Amino acid sequence: MTEELTIDAVMSLRFELAEQIAIIQGRHKNEIAPLMETLNLAEQYIKEQMLAGNMQSFKSAGTGHQAYFTTKDSVTVGDWNQALAYIKENQAYHLLNQAVNKTSVKEFIEANKAPPPGVEYSSFRDLAWRRGKGS
């Protein structure tokens, strides 16, 4: 005999599954932790050896495995007022991303009943979860 399908039963099942998944993910994280530590040590060793040998890349003669340096860039704004003043004065708008602030647009819509010109806005309902105190 199968249990009748109800929203209460399925919601309880949902939280049981989420708990089982969290337990397995925790075990998985603990299981791979020593492997990740050894991997990081191996990578650090190779990096140090390549830096000491002034190598841009290294290819293993026996296996053909290869390691090489790449450049990764990071850009942050230290002084927004100064950066924005420069951008405006020099019409350097290409330095900006094409995005608007979601919170400000929502406030604009609340005040004006429509988004700012040129801005599209959409909203959707999503389902959120909170475990009851009884479980």
Write down the pLDDT at residue 133.
85
**Residue 126, domain member (yes or no):** no
Residue 78 lies in a domain: yes
In a domain, 128, yes or no: no
What is the reported pTM?
Answer: 0.61
The answer to whether residues 110 and 90 belong to one domain is: yes
pLDDT tens per residue, range 76-121: 999 999 999 999 999 999 999 989 999 999 999 999 999 999 999 9
**How many independent structural domains does the chain possess?**
2
Query: Looking at the structure, do residues 13 and 61 belong to the same domain, yes or no?
Result: yes
pLDDT in tens, 3-32: 689 999 999 999 999 999 999 999 999 999
Same domain as 51, residue 12? yes
What's the CA angle centered on 95, arms 94 and 96, to 5 degrees? 90
- Domain membership of residue 133 (yes or no) is no
Q: Are residues 56 and 14 in the same domain?
A: yes
Residue with tokens 């050896």: 49
Rounded distance, CA 66 to CA 58, Å? 6
Structural domain for 57, as ranges? 7-68
How many percent of the chain have pLDDT more than 70? 97
